[in-house]
Structure formats: C-alpha cells, structure tokens
Amino acid sequence: RQVTHRSRVHSTNTIASELLSQGAPHGTAVTADEQSGGRGRRGRSWISPFGGLWMSLLLTRPLPLHRAGEITLLAGVATARALEHTFGLPARIKWPNDILLHQKKICGILAEIRADGENVHSVILGIGMNVNLTENDILPELRNKASSLQMETGQRFSRAEVMGAILNEFNPMYTELVENGGGFAKVQEEWLSLCAHLGDWIEVQLGTERKRGLCLSIDRNGVLLMKMDNGQEIRVPSGEIVASE
Ligand code: BTN
C-alpha cells in the first residue's frame, strides 16, 4: 500500500483527490498531522489539530452508483470493530457513520464520490479520529458531545496503530463486498448490532424540520427507518440525529 504522510495540509481528502488525478492506485492512503481546512459532513469544518488521525483512502474499484453508500457504512463498521477488537473499547455507531465512545463522538467519516454516469470510479474515504486530543482541542460548545480516545480512556494511543487496526478490518470487508460480490446483508447486520440508538426514541433534523420517532433500522442504502408516534413509518435518506433517549 502506498502511504503519503504530510505534516500539515488543507485536507487529506483534497490531497487524495489530487493523487487520484495523477493516477495513484487503489488503496493509496494519505495522512497528515494537522489539517488547516478539514472538512466534515454537511459542509461543516472538521477541527484537526496535532494528535488526531486524519486519513484518506483512495478506492478506485468500480461499484454501481446506487451502491456507493454501502462503502461508508462499511467504513463505520470497520472503524468501530477496530476499536473494539484491537483496543477493547466499546465503540458504537451513530447514524449514519459517526463513531461514539461512551456516547461521545470521537470519529467522523466523510466519503466523497467520483462518479461517471452510473459507474462510481472512485471513492475518497476520509476518516478523522480524535486520538490523542485533550479537552483544550475540543471547542467548548462541543465538549458535551465530542471527545477523544485519550480523554475517554486516560491513555495515549499510537496513531499508526489505530490506522493499522482500521485498515486490517476494512480491507477484507471491502474485498468481500466489492471484489467478491459478497452481499451487503452481513455488513448491514453488523452495523445494526453496533448502532448506538436502535430501538431508542430519536429526533432527527431534516433541513429546518425535526422529526421524533423510534429508530427501527437502516436499509441497504443507509436510509434510516423511523416509526412516528402515530404509527406511521418514515424513511430518512439523510439528516442528523440531534437527540436520543
Ligand atoms: C464528519 O463530519 O463527521 C466527517 C468528518 C471527516 C473528517 C476527516 S479527517 C480526514 C479527512 N479529511 C477531511 O478533510 N475530512 C476527513
């Protein structure tokens, strides 16, 4: 595997995209100590100081566009599994693919897709994990919902080891799904078993609207299935869980 490490970049996803344009092969990884313009989901920025794992993976094997979402869900499962298997940490997934430890977000995943018609020709999978961040690294207004491995465990972790653990879980799952034509059912089942809020009452922000309901499941496209107070079931293709009980 080709790994490019930089001390400071705007965003590792941007670097990965540039490497892609230059013909970098499938599996290329880009990491950085710091990002000055880290990107999060929904157009947000991602604060990326020294001590975190800021990584992007270049995946260039084709997959039909309508299945691209499976890769982000798979990445969430692989990351949660890595924390659990390698470090014994009870990581859970908050829909769609935030990784929580003790109910606090410690990792986010941003997949950027390059498609050509119905064929996805590449996915840039960005994974940002707050590894050795301390309280001062987390914005005061986020401290009740965001944290780091170090803050939650009182221990420091090797970023390289965390990265290795994620890739060790991710690679065989990816090969099975994309190259061996394995079904998504197994990933979906594992995702559901790691889901932090299955069967809980949740509130989802959808644009300017908020909907409250019971979290029932996700389908194979990552769509969240919710049951409302009135018994009606709704499908939420994208949005954000803002509360759960
Ligand atoms: C989220 O909003 O939860 C997703 C955050 C993704 C952050 C990672 S850090 C490595 C890669 N480079 C970026 O600019 N973003 C992703």
Architecture of domain 3-194: 2-Layer Sandwich (3.30)
- For residue 238, report the distance from its CA to the centre of ligand 1, in Å: 17
Strands 29-35 and 3-9: parallel
Q: Where are the alpha helices (DSSP H) in 123-241?
A: 149-153, 159-174, 185-194
**Complex ipTM, two decimals?**
0.99
Return per-residue pLDDT of the chain as tens, 245 residues.
799 999 999 999 999 999 999 999 999 999 999 999 999 999 999 999 999 999 999 999 878 888 888 999 999 999 999 999 999 999 999 999 999 999 999 999 999 998 877 788 899 999 999 999 999 999 999 999 999 999 999 999 999 999 999 999 999 999 999 888 888 999 999 999 999 999 999 999 988 999 999 999 999 889 999 999 999 999 999 899 998 88
Ligand 1 probe mutation, 48, 113, 147, 241, most atoms within 8 A of CB:
48
CA dist 62 and 239 (Å) reads 26
C-alpha of residue 38 to centroid of ligand 1, in Å: 6
Q: Cα–Cα distance between 199 and 192 in angstroms, integer?
A: 10
Task: CATH number for 201-244: choose from 3.30.750.24, 3.60.150.10, 2.30.30.100, 2.40.160.210.
Answer: 2.30.30.100
Q: Where are the domains of the chain?
A: 3-194, 201-244
Instruction: Output the residue whose Cα is nearest ligand 1's atom 16.
Output: 126
